[in-house]
Amino acid sequence: MRIGVDYYPEQWDKAMWEKDAETMARTGVKLIRIGEFAWSRIEPREGEFDFTWLDDVIGIFSAYAIGTILCTPTNCPPLWLYEKYPEIIQVGSDGVRIRTGIRGHRCINSPVFRTYAKRVTEQMIRHYSGKPAVAAWQIDNELEAYPCSCDVCKGKFRDWLLDKYNDLDGINKAFGNSVWSGEYSSITQIQPPTDYPQAWQNPALCLDWYRFRSDSAADFVRDTTLTIRLEDTKVPITTNAHLCRDNPDFYKLFDLLDFVSFDNYPPLNIPADPDEYYSHAFYLDLMRGIKDRNFCIMEQLSGPTGCWTPMSPAPRSGMIMGYALQAFVRGADTVLHFRWRTALTGAEMYWHGILDHSNTPNRRFLEFSDLCKKVAQLNILDNTYIVSDAAIIYSPEAEAAFRIQPQTEGFSYIKQLTAFHSALTKFGANIDVVPSNADLSRYKLVIAPSLHINKKESTENLYRYVINGGTLVLTARSGVKDEHNNCIMDTLPTVFKELIGADVAEYDPIGNGKRTIRDFAGNEYECSQWCDIMRLSTARAYAEYNDGEYRCMPSVTMNRYCNGVAYYVGTICRSDFYEDFVSNLMMQTGIPKLKGLPRGVEVTTRTNSRDEYICFFNNSEESAVIPLPKPMYSIISSIGKDKLELRPFEMDIVRK
């Protein structure tokens, strides 16, 4: 486990570098990340490369045993490149080139941009290949599925479609272009979605446009990776994912990379409403599941945030340490805080780092220092790993499809996933977040909310899992669309009807309307947003609607299929339903369950095949007391304990 910081030497006087390195080393920092926005310093004029300052920085920090993650600076081309080649600037969905002035303006499909990006990357890797101080490479910064509509992207998109569908007839058929007289008679008629709301436009076109954009990001990563690998076959390579409207397909983005990196900014306001699923535990488990191995936090919350929005509150006492430890126990082996010192200039001057503008030690710095000491205590966890009995399936294409066509007021694909994740977390379960084609045989329980887009491989994978004895949960809006994002002419949930032993007689998108359901034990729960009215064949009703015209009609079903069981949740409920439902599923599948955990307390169990370590994190603003079933040894305080008393955002780890 290593602690690091993001550092921007180009923004500070050279006289400060040595002092910063000395302070970091004394504090416990092991890594710095540099260079992601420094192209204008690396190549100040076309063809003139200056690595002297980078050599000095890397050398200074190396002397203090601090390694470097070196970034390719391709997110921010220098202004001379934009001036000479304005065609490399992205074009918006309105057909107008976006204005330069912030960052990320380049079109990653532009041949001119790719030529210059490859050249600066080649120069960097040739200069630094084999240098032991360079611990890893990061490609670009926070890559997205950029919605660039320039002529290059249009041409590549058309070629991408022809490669996929062979000819215009295939494209017209896949897109259902007979609607609104939209059939293409010439390849030049194919245009990306416009700046109209996507819900007004062809959903098949919009989904393939997302796939193309996502593939473009993955292709850029692939090319940059190969450029680095031609000079250095050993140094690990990554890029840093972040959460945005234009998320790429993370599974494709990281396919050729050595490890996953994530920019982690947990919320600073803790909501009182239990139905606001605020924990970043879900996203940490998602990142671990992309490559089914440990990952890196490339940017971690360090202070008040402010740039794209007004300034947030400052992190509460304990948040800096607690959120870093939360990431470590859920699979991060490295956490770098953004940033070492708050910028004095530029738009991000209020996105605070460990040190404030004053450059004097403050509360956050002292907590960060304590974190570094704490992490040094936790080397016992270095050779441990997470074994999960439960998995949640995440589909980037389903998320994209719901963004294209929002289903009803309040409906959120990600919130459905986090509702189940939060419920499992409440009972101390380890959870993997995996793609729909993952090997599911190791799990006792798999939850696949709203698998909207039917892909044969994924459907067969779920059937195989249940046939072989697994317990599966599907939810409303599953099996609605074919692979092209067109509706399937069949009763819902179409391809899953046989599996769940029921079908949907009718559905009602009630949005913010409220109804209630009652389960088999007589418990009542509020539901909203969506109501599937189920018609049973081989299934039994787990719950029924309890009011209105749907009263006594099934809302949640259970079906025994071959050696397994498939559930279907036809509505969207508040957190109390998911907690009770998941509790029953854990009991039926034999997944160990911790009872009575205070709200906000998260539990992760790590093992080395010999010992188990149980990590309790109080992700709330209230102190928590957790009785232990027997006295256990705390590796944090080095004493045996009968119970744990955790302050807000505090973690304790006991050996089972």
Catalytic residue ranges: 142, 299
If you ran DSSP here, which 8-state letter would residue 12 be given? S
> H helices within 240-331, ranges in order?
250-253, 281-291, 319-329
Q: Which of 396, 480, 29 is nearest to 214 (CA)?
A: 396
Q: How far apart are CA 553 and CA 534, in angstroms?
A: 7
In contact, 29 and 57? CB cutoff 8 Å: no
- Tokens 């796939």, residue located: 211
**Mind giving me the DSSP string for 570-637?**
-EEE-HHHHHHHHHHHHHHHT------PPTTEEEEEEE-SS-EEEEEEE-SSS-EEEEEEEEEEETTT
The secondary structure element, H or E, covering residue 565 is strand 564-569
Q: How far apart are CA 238 and CA 417, in angstroms?
A: 26
**Mind giving me the DSSP string for 106-170?**
B-TT-HHHHHHHHHHHHHHHHHHTT-TTEEEEE-SSS-------SHHHHHHHHHHHHHHHSSHHH
Token pair in block for residue 117: 């990006």
Token pair in block for residue 300: 């971690």
Q: How far apart are CA 500 and CA 466, in angstroms?
A: 10
Q: Give me the helix-helix angle, 203-231 and 151-165, nearest 10°.
A: 100
Which string of b and e fits 603-632 if b means at least 16 CB within 10 Å? bbbbbeeeeebbbbbbbbeeebebebeeeb
If you ran DSSP here, which 8-state letter would residue 477 be given? T
Residue 653 bridge partners (DSSP): 615
Cβ-Cβ contacts under 8 Å for 151 (sequence gap 6 or more): none
Question: Are β-strands 502-519 and 524-536 bridged in parallel, bridged antiparallel, or unpaired?
Answer: antiparallel
Cβ-Cβ contacts under 8 Å for 121 (sequence gap 6 or more): 72, 74, 224, 227, 228
Q: How far apart are CA 120 and CA 86, in angstroms?
A: 19
